[in-house]
Amino acid sequence: MKSLSDTAVEARSLSVSRGGREVLHDVTFGLPAGRITGLVGPSGGGKTTLMRTVVGVQRHVSGEVRVLGMAAGSAALRRCVGYGTQSQAAYEDLSVRENLVYFAALLGARGEQVEELLARVDLEAAAGQLVRSLSGGQRSRVSLAMALLGEPRLLVLDEPTVGLDPLLREHLWGLFRELSGAGRTLLVSSHVMDEAARCDEVLLLREGMVLAHATPAELLGRTGTSDLDDAFLRLVEQRP
Amino acid sequence: MTGAVATATRVLRQLRHDPRTIGLLLGVPAALMAIFRVVYQHQHSGFERAGPALMVIFPLITMFLVSSVALLRERTSGTLERLLTTPLSRISLLAGYALAFTLLAIIQAGVVTALSLGALGLNVAGSTALVVILAGAVALLGLGLGLLASAFAHSEFQVVQFFPATILPQLLLCGLLVPRASMGSVLHAVSDLLPMSYAVDGIHHLADQPGASAAAVGDLAVVLAFAVAAILLGALTLRRRED
């Protein structure tokens, strides 16, 4: 049994409507603190909406979402939750470093942290470049570095490795592992199943409902399959 | 406060990477003022009438356009959403924009005023400092109206269409073309409701009366009140939670 303090995010009977259509239907789950949970499933399944709800920027939410013991979106959480958006939101007409310096000031982060993070996401060489001129993979690392600013206890990262080469992807998963080792909780979305295998737990979301929430090994065991793609297909067949 | 200063610094850094926009913001009003002077070459009294009004119209036009597009980009690029997940308050965000744009407007007004009162021979009896302050207040008004326009637009195409919708009527009725005193009672009543009428009244008072006349200071206060109201109303449109 997990006690409450071991749970970083807890959602009960969560339903969310966007544009008059319900996209999450009565979802209940808990994310263990200090672990990496992979949020996977087909696109359009509600992954981004679920992440936005946890961060507290989503409207039309019913049910209860508690983050680090507080209601999602509480003012006190704004220093504790790092959010890497899918849109890779950064100022196009600022350099990489200037973007980080601005958000560091807003979060009251240490001055040296900007340079540390530039090194962590391997963007030192591009630090002076305008974001406008970056490649897609570089932009997603800017977004990631921005989410890591301050000392967030919970990191919500929407498709952080999309468009990255295998080497860089390996490097970033090493970084995620290191962060979770330091006690941070990570919620990382992906539509690629092989990334789910790198997570401690997998939350499978399909058509706004939780199809499964288990460790990768449990998912394989439960479905009698040898890879997570097959496990996903089997689960869909079992529960049409 | 640190949030506002950090935001103002960020906005000015964005502009610094865009020297063409800075050049246009500072150079175009001065060039237009010079053209105006030449247009009224044989009728200096016409320049004495319209010239001062232009000094408060430039900051309205430029700051409305710059801020409506800048804030629309904040909304559509995801940076606003990201900002609102940080401890930055919405008022600090807008205060940052206000600081940066007012500074820019004051530099713009300084250039235009120096040129107009110097080389172009415009006569302003009142306080030059107050002329520049009034231009700064109008810039804040432009920011507030631009912020509101950005809330009702989904694209840059739409947001610039708010210019003829919200700014042009004010320019037609503010006393630039026809003195407000000679307008019919209906038009006059409408123009009484529009902030730019007070800005133009104020600059005319400054042009005619020495020092900082009570009438000019009163008009400045009205413009500031409209500006603050527009910015606060606009702040309500920056929602932390979106669809």
What are the tens digits of pLDDT across the range B117-128?
999 999 999 999
Nearest to A96 by CA among A164, A142, A133, A141: A142
| Strands ordered across the beta sheet of A61-67 | A21-32, A7-18, A61-67, A70-71
**A135: number of Cβ within 10 Å:** 10
Torsion on CA atoms A26, A31, A37, A42, rounded to nearest 10? 0
Residues 6+ apart with CB under 8 A from B171: B57, B196
Give chain B's mean pLDDT.
94
Question: Does residue B241 sit within a domain?
Answer: no
Both structure tokens of A111? 């001055």
Residue B132: domain span: 2-235
Position A193 scores a pLDDT of: 84
Measured CA to CA, the distance from residue A144 to residue B128 in angstroms comes to 50
**What total number of domains does chain B contain?**
1
Instruction: Identify the CATH homologous superfamily for domain A4-80+155-238.
Output: P-loop containing nucleotide triphosphate hydrolases (3.40.50.300)
**B11: number of Cβ within 10 Å:** 24
CA B59-B62-B68 angle, to 5 degrees, is 120
> In this complex, is the C-beta atom of A78 within 8 Å of any C-beta atom belonging to chain B?
yes
Measured CA to CA, the distance from residue A238 to residue B16 in angstroms comes to 59
Instruction: Per residue of chain A (240 residues), give pLDDT as tens.
Output: 444 458 999 999 999 999 889 999 999 999 999 999 999 998 889 999 999 999 999 999 999 999 999 999 999 999 999 999 888 899 999 999 999 999 999 999 998 999 999 999 999 999 999 999 999 889 989 999 999 999 899 999 999 988 788 898 999 999 999 999 999 999 999 988 888 999 999 999 999 999 999 999 999 999 999 988 899 888 888 875
CA distance A35 to chain B (A): 22
Position B228 scores a pLDDT of: 96
Both structure tokens of B78? 């995801």
Contact B212, B127 (CB under 8 A): yes
Contact A227, A219 (CB under 8 A): no
Q: How confident is the model at residue B11 (pLDDT cuts 50, 70, 90)?
A: very high
**A224: number of Cβ within 10 Å:** 9
* Chain B residues near residue A92 by CB distance under 8 angstroms: 77
Measured CA to CA, the distance from residue B71 to residue A77 in angstroms comes to 25
Q: Is the pLDDT of residue B45 over 90?
A: no
- Rounded mean pLDDT of B197-209? 96
* Chain A residues near residue B82 by CB distance under 8 angstroms: 83, 85, 89, 103, 146
Position A5 scores a pLDDT of: 59
Q: Give domain limits for chain A.
A: 4-80+155-238, 89-151
Each residue's pLDDT tens digit, B74-120:
999 999 999 999 999 999 999 999 999 999 999 999 999 999 999 99
Interface test with B, best of A16, A59, A93 (most B CBs within 10 A): A93
Each residue's pLDDT tens digit, B210-242:
999 999 999 999 999 999 999 999 999 998 888
- Rounded mean pLDDT of B46-68? 94
> In this complex, is the C-beta atom of B83 within 8 Å of any C-beta atom belonging to chain A?
yes
Q: How confident is the model at residue B55 (pLDDT cuts 50, 70, 90)?
A: very high
* Chain B residues near residue A90 by CB distance under 8 angstroms: 79
What pTM, to 2 d.p., does this model score? 0.91
Contact A64, A229 (CB under 8 A): no
Task: Please tell me whether residue A39 adopts helix, strand or coil conformation.
Answer: strand
Measured CA to CA, the distance from residue B200 to residue B50 in angstroms comes to 10
- Rounded mean pLDDT of B146-165? 94
* Chain A residues near residue B69 by CB distance under 8 angstroms: none
DSSP for B59-96? HHHHHHHHHHHHHHHHHHHSHHHHHTTSS--HHHHHHH
Measured CA to CA, the distance from residue B207 to residue B213 in angstroms comes to 10
